[in-house]
Amino acid sequence: MGDLLFFFTIISGVSFLIYGGLCIVSDHMKTEFERYGLTRFRRLVGALEFLGGGGLLVGLFLPGLLIFSAFGLALLMALGIGVRLRVKDRWIEIVPAAVLGFINAAIVGMAW
């Protein structure tokens, strides 16, 4: 495994464990999902982020899981970008999802 792939996997995995957990328990994220009009999906998104982050870290030892998790997270971030564009968020608020989406797409490409 290359150094860049390892670095991207650790950064993304840890980030999604944190973001996923916060999505489930944070009042701020509850308010954000209300603003998006997606209240009923908040826990699902948080669980997918958390499981995806864990899947990336376990995927360091199971390449198939790494590719599956990274692809799912890249897709989730693409959907997140779409939601933020729909609610007309500023570009600075879209950047984190775009960067994490790019990182996960790169993981898929490097691990394939």
The alpha-helical segments, DSSP class H, found in 1-112 are 3-25, 27-36, 42-58, 63-86, 91-111
pLDDT at 96: 98
pTM listed for this prediction? 0.96
Measure the CA–CA gap between 50 and 45, rounded to whole angstroms. 9
pLDDT at 81: 98
Measure the CA–CA gap between 109 and 88, rounded to whole angstroms. 30
Place of tokens 């779409």: 82
* % of the chain surpassing 70 pLDDT: 100
On average, the pLDDT of the chain sits at 98
Q: How does DSSP classify residue 21?
A: H
